[in-house]
Amino acid sequence: MSTIQNSILLLLFFSFSVFAQENDFQTWHSVSSSFDFTIIQVPDQLKTKSKRKGSITFKQGYRFRENSSLLSKQFSDFKFKLRFNKKISFALGYRYSTDWSIPIESKALLFYPYVHNKHRYYSDMVIRKKLKKRFIVYLRSRYLYQGNSFEYNSIVREKLGLSYNIRKTKLRPEFSVEYFYKWNDSIQKIRYTLIMSHPIAKNLTFDLAYRIQQQFYVNNPQTLFIFEGKLAYNL
């Protein structure tokens, strides 16, 4: 539990250390549905079967900015994941999103430059390792290619996380740090996230997260303080 307490203290430290930047409070919401499957392979010269487990996930999300008063983004995400073993998995995904860059009450929103539709194509590689009995550490490397008809950018994201299974409860806290790099460039932003995950019904899980996101190397860098709620259903 000391590791979880240290993670909370770390988040509080960053919360109080970024007030010199431009700040905003946001809320993010998403619902997802996933389907698990198993691929069974039988080699011609071997009698033993090999199995590959995977999943297909669809997610719909909404994000609100300006103290959670204005809709800033909505997206639909589709992901295909295949697990090679208990430690390594790969995924391919696609996301279509709409971003609003000015207040919704402004009539200028009706004009194209202020509404951005984006396509995102991405691939993930995740490595997990169990530490002792209740800790799991993981590293997710994501490469994404996103943009619209005017411009596309390549971005690399590296996420390091640690989760803990609390004894005699179904609560699973998790702390992660994620770095965003523009291809052949410097760090764009960093995310610090603390998540509490708990099943609320059979095949239904609710995640509540607090996240701090910092921008770098831009004019008027912004720091976001985010509460996020995620509802996930496994078919």
pLDDT tens-digit profile of 158-200? Answer: 999 999 988 888 899 999 999 999 887 888 999 999 999 999 9
Confidence of residue 5 (pLDDT cuts 50, 70, 90): low
Q: Classify residue 66 as left (phi > 0), alpha (psi -120 to 50) or beta.
A: left
Mean pLDDT of 105-121: 65
Q: Are strands 222-234 and 187-201 parallel, antiparallel or unpaired?
A: unpaired
Mean pLDDT of 125-148: 94
pTM of the complete model: 0.83
Mean pLDDT of 117-131: 96
Candidate CATH numbers 1.10.10, 3.40.50, 2.40.160, 1.10.1740; the one for domain 2-41+49-234 = 2.40.160
Is residue 212 classed as helix, strand or coil in its secondary structure?
strand
The pLDDT, as a whole number, for residue 232 is 97
214 and 24 in contact (C-beta within 8 Å)? no
Q: Is the pLDDT of residue 36 over 60?
A: yes
Percentage with pLDDT > 70 across the chain: 82
Q: Is the pLDDT of residue 139 over 50?
A: yes
181 and 156 in contact (C-beta within 8 Å)? yes
Rounded to whole angstroms, how far apart are CA atoms 189 and 8?
A: 20
Confidence of residue 100 (pLDDT cuts 50, 70, 90): confident
Q: What DSSP letter does each residue of 118-165 carry, written as one string? A: EEEEEEEEEEEEEETTTEEEEEEEEEEEEE-SS-EEEEEEEEEEEEE-
The pLDDT, as a whole number, for residue 111 is 42
Confidence of residue 103 (pLDDT cuts 50, 70, 90): very low
Confidence of residue 42 (pLDDT cuts 50, 70, 90): low
Confidence of residue 18 (pLDDT cuts 50, 70, 90): very low
Name residues whose C-beta falls within 8 Å of residue 30's C-beta, 6 or more positions apart in sequence. 59, 60, 61, 62, 228, 229, 230, 231
The pLDDT, as a whole number, for residue 167 is 86
The pLDDT, as a whole number, for residue 185 is 80
The pLDDT, as a whole number, for residue 105 is 45
Q: Is the pLDDT higher at 62 or at 110?
A: 62
Is residue 9 classed as helix, strand or coil in its secondary structure?
helix
Q: What are phi and psi of 169, to 5 degrees?
A: -140, 170
The pLDDT, as a whole number, for residue 44 is 57
Q: Is the pLDDT of residue 37 over 60?
A: yes
- Average per-residue pLDDT for the chain: 85
